[in-house]
Chains A and B, each alone.
Chain A
Amino acid sequence: MSLIPHKPAADRGGPAQPLLIVGSLRKYFPIRGGLLGRGHGAVHAVDGVGFQLGKGEILGVVGESGCGKSTLARLLARLIEPDDGEVIFDGDGVGAADGIGVKELRRNLQLVFQDSFASLNPRMTVEDSVAFGPRIHGQSAADAIRVAHDMLARVGLEPSRFGGRYPHELSGGQRQRVNIARALVTRPRLVILDEAVSALDKSVQAQVLNLLLDLKEELNLTYIFISHDLNVVQYISDRVLVMYLGQVVEIGPVDCLYRDARHPYTRALLSAVPSMDPERRTRHSPLTGDPPNPVNPPPGCRFHQRCPHARTVCAAAVPKPVEVAPGHRAACFMANPASGYDSSPAEVGR
């Protein structure tokens, strides 16, 4: 432990203050075309996403591909600038006048990407890649290598064996361990894992997941775990956030949400998970059609065109997320008794 000369940034707000508060975050990507690159509409990648993240929590983010999960990760890391909305990191507004700057945010927040090969410089040895962050933060070359070796050992790679290797000489699981070491070496408090284990095969996936859980305890981390794999998300998360077409449709504690999903989309996602039991085989496709075009999202609830329970109100008004159980919120008229439409939170679809 003492090998790490620089300490992680101090916890300022205490355990009760959320590490991250995200409010109505929005990013539209303009579609350029035509002679002078004039806009022809925009992809509504992330549209009004808001959630809170407690310290030491693991928040799973699920959704179909193209629903804005990765854009959300990049927005939170400020690799792309949001069009609107606010992000508050441990009480400080990111980019706000009296808040913290992007540079300060990135000291506290790191990303692990899906493609373990593309996220390592092919011309750099493993130890140089891991030592790059500490070097940037002003440590001497020898210190940076020492910290890098320490972190490599923590992720289960013997520094003397792996430190001098190049990425193409490692297996996918080993490369992803290097990426985790690279992300953790600057001692962030929040790590966003963007499909970090999706490209690994099942046995390696399990090892890396357990490694992540161990590191979280050891280093006091908070994770945002983005994945399309519902089993993995169920295994690792404390809470789960379900995204559809750039919006949060449901968020809640993992057990509650997996046991009693209220939003029809979440139900469809969960019933699409292949069952190991031949008696309970999924016989019909839970969802039909493709997600609507994010350039032209449908009015009202974005899911209404594919929703088996949709009524006229769904096309007319946008449902707000309401609390359906303690800490469990769903954005569906049918799940909200106060809406007057609550026909079937649980019965329909069973």
Chain B
Amino acid sequence: MSVTALATSSAAPPVAATARSRGYWSGVGRRILRDPLTMGCAGVLLLIAAAAVLAPWILPVDPYKTSMLHRLAPMGSAGYLLGADELGRDMAARLIHGGRLSLMLGVLPVVFAFVIGGSIGILAGFAGGWLNMVLMRSLDVFYAFPSVLLAVAISGALGSGMSNSIIALTVVFVPQISRVAESVTTQVRSLDYVEAARMSGASAFTIIRAHVLGNVMGPIFVYATGLVSVSLILGSGLSFLGLGVKPPEPEWGLMLTTLRSAIYVNPAVAALPGAMIFVTSMCFNLMADGIRSAMDTKA
């Protein structure tokens, strides 16, 4: 609500400015800033993302340009800092450019699933009763399949391609996020302050907006952050299986597939895309942990 701003400016005496305590989120921000591991991981991710976005300016080398002469060039050879792949394309350029698609595959499905699954879960949790039953039991159907298998099946049915992979991964994550959202909303709904809000005559929508959202977003957000690494790995897995991004696009999972055959010739270069996936998903996981503990602590 926007009432706070008005309060300090108009009605309250000047003391209010100093007496006003810092809010919950500024406390969370302060704790995250003091956590070196979380900040380090955030830095690495920022670096990878910035490199991906600014790829053409950082390394003005065409990631699609093949060269028969330099096939599987080892790391550190002239002009090929990180070596070259099986078609002689520059690995450094491909890894940096690959961050674009891979990060999109990691982040976008989670963002979509956060919005869709979060809405379904909060609705089900707040409504309770038969609506909760119908929504949650329908989503439980998706739990019948292991998530990898589900992603493979859906993108297999939709056909390969970036957008289909994103759709498939979104479908995989919606039930999981819904379940988390539903359980936290159910807890919050039964608290006395929600009853008190009902007593003041507020509509269900107003209660959700003013009292429920702020108290359930945190746990859902933390859970979703942890899913980014899963999405990244599943997305790369789809590309690896030939169901995701099509060659010759640079994408880490796809690069891992095509370099697979070169693992005995030049193992270091072949492992590079895997290392990128590992580092990125690790950073997302550690960051999710950091955010979780920053939010858990009572000030």
Bound-state CA distance A267–B13 (Å) is 55
Bound-state CA distance A307–B191 (Å) is 37
Classify the secondary structure of A's interface with B: helix
Q: Distance (Å) between the CB of B58 and the closest chain A CB? A: 41
With a cutoff of 8 Å between Cβ atoms, the chain B residues found around residue A327 in the complex are: none
Q: Is the beta-carbon distance between A132 and B199 smaller than 8 angstroms?
A: no
Q: Is the beta-carbon distance between B192 and A119 smaller than 8 angstroms?
A: yes
Q: Is the beta-carbon distance between B15 and A115 smaller than 8 angstroms?
A: no
Within B1-55, which residues are at the interface with A (CB < 8 Å)? 1-4, 6-8, 10-13, 15-16, 19-21, 23-24
What residue in chain A is nearest B20 (Cβ atoms)?
A164
Q: Is B198 an interface residue, CB under 8 A from the partner?
A: yes
Q: Is the beta-carbon distance between A145 and B200 smaller than 8 angstroms?
A: no
Q: How many residues of A contact B (CB 8 A)?
A: 46
With a cutoff of 8 Å between Cβ atoms, the chain A residues found around residue B138 in the complex are: none
Knowing A122-B215, A127-B7, A128-B1, the reply to whether A106 touches B199 (Cβ < 8 A) is yes
Q: Distance (Å) between the CB of A162 and the closest chain B CB? A: 8
**Residue-by-residue, is B202-216 near A (CB-CB < 8 Å gives 1, otherwise 0)?**
100010001100110
Most buried by A among B193, B195, B298, B299: B193
Q: Is A103 an interface residue, CB under 8 A from the partner?
A: yes
Q: Distance (Å) between the CB of B8 and the closest chain A CB? A: 7
Q: Is the beta-carbon distance between A145 and B215 smaller than 8 angstroms?
A: no
Within B145-204, which residues are at the interface with A (CB < 8 Å)? 191-193, 195-202
With a cutoff of 8 Å between Cβ atoms, the chain A residues found around residue B20 in the complex are: 125, 164
Bound-state CA distance A85–B206 (Å) is 31
Bound-state CA distance A288–B94 (Å) is 81
Q: Is the beta-carbon distance between A164 and B195 smaller than 8 angstroms?
A: no
Q: How many interface contacts (CB-CB < 8 Å) are there between A and B? A: 120
Q: Is the beta-carbon distance between B12 and A119 smaller than 8 angstroms?
A: no
With a cutoff of 8 Å between Cβ atoms, the chain A residues found around residue B23 in the complex are: 123, 125, 166
Stretch from A133-141, A220-228, A246-254, A289-297 contacting the other chain: A133-141
Knowing A77-B199, A122-B215, the reply to whether A144 touches B193 (Cβ < 8 A) is no
**Residue-by-residue, is A85-115 near B (CB-CB < 8 Å gives 1, otherwise 0)?**
0000000000000000001001101110101
Q: Is the beta-carbon distance between B7 and A166 smaller than 8 angstroms?
A: no
Q: Is the beta-carbon distance between A165 and B21 smaller than 8 angstroms?
A: yes
Q: Distance (Å) between the CB of A130 and the closest chain B CB? A: 10
Knowing A141-B6, A168-B299, the reply to whether A160 touches B16 (Cβ < 8 A) is yes
What residue in chain B is nearest A113 (Cβ atoms)?
B192
Most buried by A among B3, B206, B211: B3
Q: Distance (Å) between the CB of B70 and the closest chain A CB? A: 58
Bound-state CA distance A110–B20 (Å) is 28
With a cutoff of 8 Å between Cβ atoms, the chain B residues found around residue A124 in the complex are: 1, 210-211, 214
Q: Is the beta-carbon distance between A166 and B21 smaller than 8 angstroms?
A: yes
Bound-state CA distance A165–B11 (Å) is 16
With a cutoff of 8 Å between Cβ atoms, the chain A residues found around residue B13 in the complex are: 160
Q: Is A328 an interface residue, CB under 8 A from the partner?
A: no
Q: Is the beta-carbon distance between A142 and B8 smaller than 8 angstroms?
A: no
Most buried by A among B2, B6, B193, B199: B199
With a cutoff of 8 Å between Cβ atoms, the chain A residues found around residue B11 in the complex are: 142, 145-146, 149
**Residue-by-residue, is A74-91 near B (CB-CB < 8 Å gives 1, otherwise 0)?**
000101000000000000
Bound-state CA distance A96–B211 (Å) is 31
With a cutoff of 8 Å between Cβ atoms, the chain B residues found around residue A16 in the complex are: none
With a cutoff of 8 Å between Cβ atoms, the chain B residues found around residue A266 in the complex are: none
With a cutoff of 8 Å between Cβ atoms, the chain A residues found around residue B16 in the complex are: 160, 163-164
Bound-state CA distance A183–B198 (Å) is 12
Partner of A127, one of B3, B197, B199: B3
With a cutoff of 8 Å between Cβ atoms, the chain A residues found around residue B21 in the complex are: 164-166, 169
Q: Is the beta-carbon distance between A136 and B6 smaller than 8 angstroms?
A: no
Q: Is the beta-carbon distance between B193 and A163 smaller than 8 angstroms?
A: no
Q: Is the beta-carbon distance between B6 and A113 smaller than 8 angstroms?
A: no
What residue in chain A is nearest B17 (Cβ atoms)?
A164
Q: Is the beta-carbon distance between A168 and B298 smaller than 8 angstroms?
A: yes
Bound-state CA distance A164–B195 (Å) is 23
With a cutoff of 8 Å between Cβ atoms, the chain B residues found around residue A166 in the complex are: 21, 23-24
With a cutoff of 8 Å between Cβ atoms, the chain B residues found around residue A165 in the complex are: 19, 21
Partner of A164, one of B19, B199, B211: B19
With a cutoff of 8 Å between Cβ atoms, the chain B residues found around residue A129 in the complex are: 193
A-B contact pairs, 28 of them (CB 8 A): A77-B199, A79-B199, A106-B201, A119-B192, A121-B210, A122-B24, A123-B215, A125-B4, A125-B20, A127-B7, A128-B3, A132-B202, A133-B201, A135-B3, A136-B201, A141-B2, A141-B3, A142-B3, A142-B11, A144-B3, A159-B12, A161-B15, A163-B12, A164-B7, A164-B21, A168-B299, A183-B196, A186-B200
Q: Which residues of B are in contact with A by a Cβ distance under 8 Å?
A: 1-4, 6-8, 10-13, 15-16, 19-21, 23-24, 191-193, 195-202, 206, 210-211, 214-215, 298-299
A123-B23, A141-B2 given. 8 additional CB < 8 A pairs? A106-B201, A113-B195, A121-B215, A135-B3, A137-B201, A142-B6, A144-B3, A166-B21
